[in-house]
Each structure stands twice: as C-alpha cells, then as structure tokens.
Structure 1
Amino acid sequence: MAQRKCVFDCEGKKSLFRFPKNTELRQQWMLFVFPGQKRSSENVYVCYQHFSDDCFTNKAQFEAGFANRLQLDDGAVPTIKHPVQESELQATTSTSQAKPSIKHTECQTEHRPAVSVEVQANPLKSSVGTQCRFTPLQKTTGTQFSFSKHTGHLRSKGTQTTDLSASMETPQVNTRSHLPTTPLMASISGRCARAAKRPRMELPEEDEEDVSDIPQPQDSTYEPGDSAAEPSEISGMEVTCDYNDAKYIVFESSLRELFKTCPLCKRNCDVQRRRLGTFVSFSQVCKNCQYNRKWQSQPVKGSTPVGNLQMSAAVYFTGGSFIQTKKICRAMNLQIHQYKTFRRHARLFLEPSIHHKWKKDQQAMFQQLQPQGEIPLGGDMRAVSPGHSAKYGSYTLMHLKSNKILDIQLVQSIEVGGSAHMENEGLRRGLDLLESNQLHVDYIVTDRNTQVEKYLRERNVKQFYDVWHLEKELSKKLDKLSRNCKLLRKWSQGIKNHMYWSAMSSKEGPKKIAKWKSFLNHIQNVHTHDDPLFPKCAHLERVSRDPSKWFRPGVYNGTS
C-alpha cells in the first residue's frame, strides 16, 4: 500500500486529515486544495500545517502531551497555503529570548575532538544547554527533550542527524529559546534515554480519519470525539490477570462519576474516554492543580486487551456464533468488538493455541502407549458432504482400549485426484505418523472400503470390519425387502440386535460367525444348530402360541 502524505508534498511525517463527509464542508476544502479543478477527494490528505490553531479542539492538550494526535473541529477548513517549514521555525526559535516556564529542556551534542560549550539553566526558566565537539569532515548533532510530571511519568523524544562539513571551532555561546508553557513540572538532570517504539493496539478495523507519526490502535468502535490513549501508556499499565477474575457490567455514567472531581482540590476535571471493543480507559486532568491519572477497565497483554480476547475465546471454544452474540450485546448497548477482530483473534491466538495443545497431548499419549507394544486401532473418515463430490475429508484413528483419539488427518480431494481416494490417503498418513513414533498396530477396525482393504493387506496389517457399518448396510437391504413382506418387517429390528450381540458376546471370530448364522434357524422356530461352536440358542426354551410369527420354508409371506 502506498505511503500516505500531504497533498501539498509537505516533508516529514505529519498528522494527516481526510476530506470531511459533509458535502458543503468538503466543497470548501476542494476550493482550497484544487481551486478551479474537478477532482476526486478519495485518498487525499491535508496535514495539520495548513490549519490555523483555532481549527483544533485539543491543541493545548496535544502540546502538553495529554493527547497524541490533533483533533479537528467539526467546521474546520484549511486556510494556510504555504505553512512555515519546521526547519525555518526552529532557526527562528533558536535566536529568540526565553520566557519563564516550568518546562526544562536540555540539548546535548557530542562528537569527538575539540571545542565544548556548556550552559546551565535556572530550573524555573526554559533553558537550552548545548555541548559541541567537531571533527574534520564530520559534524553530528543530537537533541534530547524530556518532560516529567509530578506523578513521575516521563516522556522523552530523541533526534540525531549527521552532516558532512569542514573542521571548525566554536566559541562559547549562551542561547535561550522561547518554549511554550505547559502544566508539566520541570525536573531534568543528565541525559534522557531515547523513547522506545510504541506498540500497536490491535489492528484497525476501519480506515482512520487521520494519520499521525505514531500508528494508532483504532477499530470500528473508535470515536473521533474521544481523545485516544497512547499505546505506550496502555502497555505500561499492564498488570497480571487471572482468568477466574469476576467480570461485571458497568454503566459509563457510573464510571464518569469516579473521575468527575479532582481528589486534591475537589474541582471539576477534564475527562477523556477511549474505547476499543470491550476495553475502555479514562484520562483525568485537573486544570487547577495539574493532577492527572489514567484508568483502564481491563489488563492489556502485549497490545491486546484481555477482555476482548477472552470474549472471542468464550464464543470460539463453546462453539457459539459471534454474530448472535453481537446481536445480544447490541440489544442492550453492551460494547463489543467487531467480527473481523474475532476472526483475527481466532487466527492469531485461539487456533494456534488449540493446535499447540493438541500436539502436546498427542505426544504425551504416544509416549504413554510406547511401552504397551502393539496397539488396537479403529479408523474412519468423515467428509464435508455426502457422496463423491466432497472437497475435504478428515480421517480419525482411535485407540480402542482407552477410547482416545490418536490422530486426525485432513485431506483435500485435489491432493489425491478425487474424493474417492481421500480415505485411503488419510489412513496412510495416520499409520505413517504412528510408525514414526515407534507405535506398532496389532489390528485395525474399519469399514468395508475396498481401497482400504487392499492397502492394509499390502501393509500386512490385520483388519476387522466395523459392526456399525455392517449393520447399516444390512438395514438398507432389510428395509427394501420388508416393503413387500410384513413378517420380515416384524423381525427386522431383532435381526439388527442379533448382529450386535453376536459381535459383542464372543472374542473368537469363528464363534461370532456361528452365532450370527444361528438366526436363520431361530426365525423358523428351530433352536438347535449343527455348528458345534454354538449348538443351541442361548435363550430359555419357550412354547410358541402364535405359529404365524415364524418363517416357514418355501412359503412367501408377502402382502399380496
């Protein structure tokens, strides 16, 4: 994406403002920016240098450091065509006389050899102290500013430039410059460290109305009327949080009551709010005694409010719908973040956490099963849609003794040349993973897929058929036949139950088959059998009083 810049090509990073949405106001901007031209105002920005001071609603707070971006008044119109460049302004300021101020600024420039100049200032005045040393063909200038409040908060900015020049000597200079007054107290001694790069609160969900030199944490819940808290300040207020901490619904009017008056002088304070989803913070400033404090509703981890993340996790992990949750919140004007923030949380935090937890538990299960030798498995695939047109399929392997899932393989149809081959590929990947972790298969229970049967035979893995799949195929055939046979319709459920009983009541395969075949004699009222493995039915001997419920050889029991 192209870098945003002022339409007048002003140098450096400035606070930029888009054209307003109001039609009449936008037309006034167009007459100033493009006089006599018809052009689109989309992606066109005007920097703050083209506005007079009365166009901003927070100019004093911005200069004092309580706001990190300028806010335009509702009817502001740019009027300054050729603003004074910062380099010219700094040159003019360096020759002006200083006035009493409670801000103390100290500039230091260090280079290798020769001349040095040092100026000490009265703490009650705005002062500039300069130290210079020059070497042939090189001059380096470093400027450091630091302002501190009586609460101990420190904000500093550092600038360094390097130029090439001839060697020179400079006599002692005592220079005082005028600096704007500010409610901050001055206490600077020595050198201040360069300010760290400010982290970004969650990615913006909508385009910002203006752009400053520091990226701002905005989403669709950002309100331009509220002064934004700085990300560095929010990150600095991080506290340890517990997931078990109780959460409450609090009204904004109740929160504002807490910051309405100054706790020192009891006068009314300026209160500014910043909201980001479920997160809200308040900045309180007393104009009388300069008392100030900041409060936030929830901890911030890194650059993400914990409450927003926990809300997304609660919806995601419980299988709920974020859209429905947002509708509930909207019905009671309960603030919540946007859907794409929820998806970003899922992509960056929740899904990686699930994957990490799964891999960790999977390796623990593998290590637990390794001493047991060969293990029994059950495997089956589930596709996203029935039939032979599925795009994705997941093949699952389960340990039959503990009933725990050992592996899940996701297969896409285009990887294997069609959905008919996904099940065989998923089984192959799963068995390869178990083999790489020194786990050997005793036998596996699957459905009657012919490709799977062939693959397991080539791999020398013992295979058994799943009873559920057998009963499912048998049920389809019985339902089709019972349409024209009332007697078979009565016996249909008993035949299905007999299949499960035959499989569950015996461990040996031949005995299971003998029990299954016995139902052919049982439905004819014959309860003794020729197979020595199961010579007699297991139920008690009973005398039937209704001979019509039994099948008779050679007799058709249809409806016609």
Structure 2
Amino acid sequence: MGLFEVCPVCKRVCSVKNKVLGTFISVKQLCEYCEYSRIWQSQPLLDSTPAGNLQLSAAVYISGASYFKLQRVFKAMHLQIFLYTFRRHARMFIEPAIVHKWNHSQDVMLQQLSKERKLILGGDMRADSPGHCAKFGSYTMMDLNTKTIVDLQLVQSNEVGGSSHMEKEGQKRSLALLDARGVTIDSIVTDRHPQIQKFLRDNNITQFYDVWHMEKGITKQLHKISKTKDCQKVKTWMRAIRNHIYWTAASSITGPERVAKWTSLLNHVQDIHTHDDPLFPKCLHPIRSTTDKSRWLSGATPAFYKLEKALTKKTVLRDIAKLSPHHQTSSLEAFHGVILRFAPKNVVYPFLGMLCRLYLAALHYNENSDRGQATTSSGDLMFRLTFPKARKGECRAKPVKTEATFQYVNDLMDMIMEKVLVDPASYRAEILKINIPPELSSEYEHPVKEEVIASYVSRFNQGRVV
C-alpha cells in the first residue's frame, strides 16, 4: 500500500481507498492537489466476477479438494479467501460445465459402442455409507474390454423405498439408457445380489459372477471351519482352494464343466486324482508320489466332512456354474477407490454435488485407465513391495504405473472461463433436465424451531443427587 501513498506527479500524499472481494483487491488512488488518479486491480474482472475467485473455486471443485480444508489453510497463512462465493460459483458455472463435459464424453463412447456386437459389461453399486442407512447409491456400468466407465446412475434412497432397492434401480436405469442408445449387450458380470439375479433373469440377459466376490465368501467360511475342533488342517488348504476357484473359472467353457472341476477338489485333497465325472476325469497336474501323508485329508474326519459340506452346497454349485471365465469386476472396485478422492464417505453432499463428483471420478478414471507400467532409466519394469492386510503379512510385488494425466481438468477450466461464464444459460439447461429428488428430510413434518429448542434436555442433566 506504500506504493500508492505518494502522488507520482506532485509527490504529495494521496487519498487511497481499497476494496476487497475474496482474493480480489482493487486500490483507488486520488491526489487532491493535482487531481491525478488511478485504479489498480490484483486480477481481471470478468463481467463483475473476479477471475481469480472463480479459478480458485473451479480448481478446488474439479481436483476433488475440500473448500473447508482450503479455507483453514488460508486462515492459518493469513491469506484472503471468499466466504460465501464457492457454492454460487459451483451452482452457476462449475457444475453445469461438469455435467456438459460428462454428457459429451458419454455420447462419444455410446456412439462407438453401438457399433459393436458383443459388449461385456461389469456392474456394481457403491453406497455413500455402510450398512442399510445409505442415502445415495451410485451404480456404475463399465466396458470390461476397454476398462472404461460408460454410465453412472445416482439413486437416492427415498426414490425406491429404501437403500436395499437402490442397486436394482440403478442397474435398471443404466440398462434402459444403453438400450435407448442402441448398445447391444452380450453379458454382464456382477456380484451375487439376489435382486440383480432376478432382474437379469427376467430380462433374458446373460449374467456371470465375479470370481473375487465368490472367493471372498468361501474363504470366510473356510476360516470359520479352520478354527473349530479337529479342523485346523483345512487352513493349510485355503490358499490352494482360492487358486482353484480362479482356475476353475478361467479354464472352463460351460457351467457343468466348472462344476466338475470344482467338485474334483474334494478328491484332490484326499490324494485321489481320478474322478467319476466325464467332463473332468482326472487332474491335469503330473501325478507324484509323496512320502508326507499328513498333508492330505481323510474322508472319515470332521475336517473333510465340513469342507465337503461348505464346498458342495446347492447355492455354491449353482453360483460356481456362473463364474465369469475371463472378465472380472476388479477394475470397478478400483474405480470405487477413485470416487473416494472426489466424494469421501464422511462428507455429506447434495444430490447434484454428489452426481458431479461421480462424473469427475469417471472422467479421471477413463483418462487414465490404459496407463502402462513405469520403467527405470535403464528400461526395467518398476515394482513396489506391499503387505496386503488380507494376506496376513505376505509380501507381494505390485507394478508401478506411469504418472496420471489431468487433461480433463484443463478442459474444464477452459470451458468454465471461456464458455460457461460467457453464456451460462445454455449449460444450465442441461442441469434442469436432471431429475433431482427431494431431500430425505422433506418427508417429515417440520416443527417450529423454538419448540424443538425448548424441548431440548441434555442426557447428563439429571439434577442433583441426594
């Protein structure tokens, strides 16, 4: 401010007035003697909006950062920041740009997919909170051939009568959209949700089950069995059984063949490698004689009885027959991890805010889905060592991918500053087409605030103990 105190013409003290608007400051200098004046601005004004304020709001939203955390950072550093402008920027400029960007990107994808004959999709839902109290459920459809997100449907629990019905409704909406756009579906890989099974069966859509979900359920049962009396030997076979599930799915063509290979495991653990089923008459590994007979299970023991009961249940054999032979939903699970960067589960968002953050996660994932493995300066592939919690201290090598790109961020920033800000009405029109359900609290009667406050009693206000 010292630069504005003295008039550059007559060298006398000037009158200085400043105006602060968020990160924007303007200084008006006026000399009362020679009438010299000038106005200095820290950043340009776009119409009446400071460019830096809008750029900061857009950068925070698009990058998946938290405005409230940024506000605390600015306060700790004594930096100026706007207070109530972020939501207005999001509503007027940022969210319309995100919706337009996703709609355009999806249109291009669906036009290409409509020309393909065999499309294998993966579908799964992510709830915004654990348990049966979720407010939002986001259903994702992924093209498993290219590992790209082709559709996202956000369902609010009061639309379908409860959170347990959100997954079916999300898949129903997604399939309706794909059908309307002329996309032909060969099959869908999902988990074993009962409502999804019935819906796809009624609509004559081929469904396969993700192997990891199946393996996880069986592993939990085997862990439970291995902790019971006289069944500790089951634990030594758990890794082999997990591997056998994946091999059964990947090496089989038909459902009966999968069942035959799966049930052959019960002979294998007894050191019997020929089987009665003609679809899989003998094990494919070389037959070796072993001197250690203690590793094999005996058919007359509680361990074998419980193992056989767990692996040959009617529901297990039915689901084994429908295991996906090639494509799995592990990429969908990875995408759910990306969503956490943009929409953490411990933060409550409005419907449109949640939808836009899902679109941002999809744009980020699709842009980086085909990243290759990083290499060293000498050309060697790069790996890092991990200790997965589920593997109980077992060390694993994991490939290191190349750095992620963020071209979608640059595109959105340019769109907001150069197009949406100039003509926001046309972009807002896309927002108005979205069916936004009423808030959950709208279902209840809203009492008078003063009455609720008057009825407030602390649970620790018990009065004096005599």
Under TM normalisation by the shorter chain, which class is it?
A: 0.5 to 0.7
Residue in 1 that maps onto 2:247: 501
1:387 paired with 2:387, answer no
1:299 paired with 2:44, answer yes
- The counterpart of 2:76, out of the listed 300, 320, 331, is 331
Answer 1 or 2: higher relative contact order, Cα 8 Å, separation at least 6. 2
Q: Secondary structure at the match of 2:125?
A: strand
1-structure distance, mates of 2:109, 2:75 = 44
- The counterpart of 1:415, out of the listed 140, 159, 164, is 159
Cα distance, 1:304–1:486 mapped onto 2, change above 3 Å: same
Cα distance, 1:531–1:299 mapped onto 2, change above 3 Å: farther
One-letter amino acid matched to 2:56: M
Deviations 1:266-292 (A, max 9, x none): 333222211111111111212222221
After TM superposition, list the pairs within 5 Å mapping 1:341-420 onto structure 2: 341-420=85-164
1:481 paired with 2:225, answer yes
Cα distance, 1:490–1:343 mapped onto 2, change above 3 Å: farther
Q: Which runs of 5+ in 1 are unaligned?
A: 1-255
2-structure distance, mates of 1:415, 1:523 = 50
Matched-pair contact (CA < 8 Å) for 2:116–2:184? no
Q: Percent identity, aligned pairs only?
A: 54
1:375 offset after TM fit, Å? Answer: 1.3
1-structure distance, mates of 2:218, 2:98 = 39
One-letter amino acid matched to 1:271: V
1:366 offset after TM fit, Å? Answer: 0.4
1-structure distance, mates of 2:129, 2:30 = 61
Deviations 1:304-339 (A, max 9, x none): 21212222233223333322222222122111111x
1:437 offset after TM fit, Å? Answer: 0.6
- The counterpart of 1:427, out of the listed 161, 171, 179, is 171
Matched-pair contact (CA < 8 Å) for 1:374–1:439? no
In our comparison, the structure showing a higher alpha carbon Rg is 1
1:418 offset after TM fit, Å? Answer: 2.5
1:548 paired with 2:294, answer yes
2-structure distance, mates of 1:478, 1:419 = 30
Cα distance, 1:269–1:545 mapped onto 2, change above 3 Å: farther
Matched-pair contact (CA < 8 Å) for 1:502–1:515? yes
Cα distance, 1:542–1:257 mapped onto 2, change above 3 Å: farther
Q: Secondary structure at the match of 2:273?
A: coil
1:545 offset after TM fit, Å? Answer: 3.8
Higher mean alpha-carbon deviation, 280-289 vs 537-546, is at 537-546
- The counterpart of 1:444, out of the listed 169, 176, 188, is 188
1:385 offset after TM fit, Å? Answer: 3.1
Residue in 2 that maps onto 1:471: 215
1:557 offset after TM fit, Å? Answer: 4.4
Cα distance, 1:491–1:290 mapped onto 2, change above 3 Å: same
Q: Secondary structure at the match of 2:85?
A: helix
After TM superposition, list the pairs within 5 Å mapping 1:58-457 onto structure 2: 256-338=1-83, 340-457=84-201
Matched-pair contact (CA < 8 Å) for 2:135–2:163? yes
Q: How many residues in Structure 1 have an aligned counterpart in Structure 2?
A: 302
Residue in 2 that maps onto 1:512: 258
One-letter amino acid matched to 1:305: P
2-structure distance, mates of 1:258, 1:507 = 80
Cα distance, 1:343–1:494 mapped onto 2, change above 3 Å: farther
Higher relative helix content: 2
1:469 offset after TM fit, Å? Answer: 2.0
2-structure distance, mates of 1:309, 1:352 = 14
1:447 offset after TM fit, Å? Answer: 1.9
2-structure distance, mates of 1:545, 1:290 = 106
1:445 offset after TM fit, Å? Answer: 1.3
1-structure distance, mates of 2:224, 2:255 = 29
The normalised TM-score by structure 1 is 0.51
Q: Which runs of 5+ in 2 are unaligned?
A: 305-466
The normalised TM-score by structure 2 is 0.60
Q: Secondary structure at the match of 1:333?
A: coil
1:540 offset after TM fit, Å? Answer: 4.6
Q: Secondary structure at the match of 1:452?
A: helix
Matched-pair contact (CA < 8 Å) for 1:380–1:397? yes
Cα distance, 1:384–1:274 mapped onto 2, change above 3 Å: same
CA RMSD of the aligned region, Å? 2.3
Higher mean alpha-carbon deviation, 539-548 vs 352-361, is at 539-548
